[in-house]
Every structure is written in C-alpha cells, then in structure tokens.
C-alpha cells in the first residue's frame, strides 16, 4: 500500500505524461530537491520544460499561473508552506477567483494551488499554522483536503483536470509518510464513500455494534485522529461513533453530516485550524439550522487561539490530539 506522498507523486507523474497542458510552478521544485516535501520529485527530470522554478514571490507566481490558466494551460502551483498563502491573498481573492464573473463566463481559470499545512513538526509560529479557514467561502474558490482514505493523488488529478476554477489543495504535513487506508486496514469499521458530488466524502462506522451515539466530522489529518479516538471510545468506554470525512471543504456539502447527526443527535467537529470562527463553527451552525431541536448537543475540538510554539511539549498543548477528542466525546455522552 502506498503512502500519502507516493499517491500524490505517482498521479502527478501519470498526469504530466498524459497531458501537456499541465505545468508545475514553485520554489525549489527542481530535482534533486523536488520540492520541500518531495511531492514534485522526479518531475523536472522527466519534463524539464514544464517544471518552472520561481523566485520567492508567491503573489508573483500565482499571478503568472493565473495568466497561464486563462490561456488554456493547467498550472499546478506549490506554496512551500501554507502560512505563505497570505502573501498571495490578493491574487487569490481579488483576481483569479473573480475572472469568471468579471468576463461573463467567457473564461475559466483551471489552476491548482497545493500547499502543506499544519504543525506537529516543531517548525514554529510561521511554518505550522492551518490557515485554510481564511479561504473557505471565497466565491469561485474550491478548497480540497485529502485524507488517508480513497486516493489523495486521484483527488489532486481530478482537481487539475476536471475542475475549471481555481482550487486550493490542502495537504497536512503529518500525513506525507502515512500509509493509505482501505477496508482491509480497518477490520472493525465499515468505510462508505459518498459520490454525489465531484469530490467524495467518507463515512466510517463500526460493524455489528449498537447504534452510534455521536457523529464526529473531521478532514485531513484530524480524520485519522478521529479514527484513533473512535477506537478508544469503543474499546475502553463502549461508546460507538460515526465519522464523516469530507474532502471538499468549500463549496461545502453538509448533507452527509446532517444525515448522521439526525440519527445520533450529537455532533463533534474536529479541525487543526484555530477554534474561534472556524470550520467547525460553520458546520455546527448549518447543522443547527437544518436539524433544530433534534441536534441536542454540539462541541468543537480545535487548535487553541495561539501562535504555534516551536517547543514540542508546548506545541502538543496547543494542537488538538486524540485525548482531547475522547474527553470531549465522554462529556457529550
């Protein structure tokens, strides 16, 4: 079974072999470095004219990629650390996501901005944040976050080839070395895929057990922490959960979460972004609007509203972990 990183790299190799419209742009992406986390490894050797190393100017090369997309190419931009998306916010929010409307649907901007997010590596306050919440809800921008289920590489390839608008593709740093998971790797749980949208969502539930008491929803690396917490809740406390894992965060399809919370009447959201005004708050608000009094209780687990420390023991206190999930779920029950 391949790793999260291998899936991304393999699908990029296949796609660049098959489609000459795909170009890569970013800092330090040429071999032998192959980008900071090696997602672009080997691609500049095979396709030297279509892998373009750039100066340290995020706004500049995202703007260039936007122009390439307007001319019919499919550029894939790497932002070395997601924290640096702030340097290109003007291009993302005020330019590339607006062209379709400004030119009366006569143009498309099929480009992907992929970037590592998150902490747990001791990189400190400016290299460890999860800033995707600041880009959720931007009209015209698709935000995706792969997990360990399905194929992260296929999700990326679909974003490059199928989506005709700008895509922000969030990759949590902790996941690159992790093995992808299938039903065979989770014998006590059943994996179901929702395919009613372009990009899938997943549901994890326990086999041959009483009905779940809590719906947990999470994306990216937090989905794996949710799975670990769910196992502890089941084995140690006999509390069974259902986990809903979206890969598309914006525009957001909340129906799988609503369907599950309608059964359990309790909803726990997980995210590595800051707790205040975050993804979880939006999910709970929309769930309450849909379910009303049926939603008896809702809680959020997220990163503390603090800069991320570099010291590992302090970083562990700021970032959410499985113990936080278990303790919150126990209080809800």
Return the pLDDT at 197.
Answer: 80
C-alpha–C-alpha distance, residues 21 and 287, integer Å = 41
Domain with CATH 3.40.50.920 in the chain: 183-332
Return the pLDDT at 98.
Answer: 97
Indicate the fold that domain 4-175 takes in CATH: Rossmann fold (3.40.50)
Nearest to 279 by CA among 134, 143, 133, 131: 133
pLDDT tens digit sequence for 169-207: 999 999 999 999 998 889 999 999 998 788 999 999 999
Q: Is 117 helix (H, G, I), strand (E, B) or coil?
A: strand
Return the CATH number of the domain spanning residue range 183-332: 3.40.50.920
Average pLDDT over residues 308-331: 97
Return the pLDDT at 160.
Answer: 97
pLDDT cut 90: percent of the chain above it: 96
Return the pLDDT at 242.
Answer: 98
pTM: 0.97
User: For residue 332, how far is the Cα from the chain centroid?
Assistant: 26
pLDDT beyond 80 at 158: yes
C-alpha–C-alpha distance, residues 309 and 77, integer Å = 28
Return the pLDDT at 183.
Answer: 86
Nearest to 330 by CA among 199, 233, 194: 233
pLDDT beyond 90 at 1: no
> Are 133 and 250 within 8 A, CB to CB?
no
pLDDT tens digit sequence for 258-268: 999 999 999 99
C-alpha–C-alpha distance, residues 178 and 252, integer Å = 26
Return the pLDDT at 198.
Answer: 86
Domain with CATH 3.40.50.970 in the chain: 4-175
C-alpha–C-alpha distance, residues 222 and 323, integer Å = 13
> Are 51 and 27 within 8 A, CB to CB?
no
| Residue 326 host element (H or E) | helix 322-332
Residue with tokens 């959410």: 320
> Are 202 and 193 within 8 A, CB to CB?
yes
Average pLDDT over residues 279-308: 98
The per-residue pLDDT of the chain, averaged, comes to 97
Return the pLDDT at 234.
Answer: 97
> Are 27 and 40 within 8 A, CB to CB?
no
pLDDT tens digit sequence for 210-245: 999 999 999 999 999 999 999 999 999 999 999 999
pLDDT tens digit sequence for 4-47: 999 999 999 999 999 999 999 999 999 999 999 999 999 999 99
Average pLDDT over residues 157-161: 97
Return the pLDDT at 195.
Answer: 82
C-alpha–C-alpha distance, residues 223 and 227, integer Å = 6
Taking CA 152 as the corner, what is the angle to CA 12 and CA 318, rounded to the nearest 5 degrees? 120
């Amino acid at each position: 079974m391949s790793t999260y990183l291998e899936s991304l790299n393999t699908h990029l190799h296949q796609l660049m072999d098959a489609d000459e419209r795909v170009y890569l742009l970013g800092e330090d992406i040429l071999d032998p470095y192959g980008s900071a986390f090696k997602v672009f490894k080997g691609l500049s050797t095979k396709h030297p004219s279509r892998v373009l190393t750039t100066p340290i100017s995020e706004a500049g090369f995202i703007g260039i990629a936007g122009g390439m997309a307007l001319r019919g190419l499919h550029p894939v931009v790497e932002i070395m650390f997601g924290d640096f998306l702030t340097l290109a916010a003007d291009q993302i929010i005020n330019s590339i996501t607006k062209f379709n409307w400004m030119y009366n649907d006569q143009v498309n901007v099929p480009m992907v901005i992929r970037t590592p997010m998150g902490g747990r590596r001791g990189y400190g306050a400016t290299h460890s944040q999860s800033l995707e919440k600041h880009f959720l809800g931007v009209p015209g921008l698709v935000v995706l976050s792969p997990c360990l289920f399905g194929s992260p590489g296929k999700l990326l390839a679909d974003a490059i080839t199928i989506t005709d608008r700008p895509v922000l593709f969030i990759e949590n740093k902790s996941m690159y070395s992790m093995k992808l998971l299938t039903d065979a790797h989770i014998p006590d749980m059943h994996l179901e895929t929702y395919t009613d949208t372009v990009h899938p969502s997943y549901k994890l539930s326990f086999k041959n057990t009483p009905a779940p008491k809590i719906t947990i929803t999470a994306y990216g690396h937090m989905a794996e922490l949710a799975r670990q917490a769910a196992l502890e809740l089941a084995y140690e406390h006999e509390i069974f959960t259902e986990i809903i894992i979206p890969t598309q965060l914006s525009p957001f399809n909340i129906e799988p979460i609503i369907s599950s919370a309608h059964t359990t009447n309790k909803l726990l959201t997980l995210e590595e972004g800051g707790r205040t005004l975050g993804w979880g708050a939006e999910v709970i608000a929309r769930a309450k609007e849909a379910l009303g009094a049926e939603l008896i209780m809702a809680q959020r687990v997220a990163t503390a509203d603090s800069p991320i420390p570099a010291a590992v023991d302090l970083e562990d206190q700021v970032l959410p972990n499985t113990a936080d999930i278990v303790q919150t779920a126990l209080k809800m029950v």
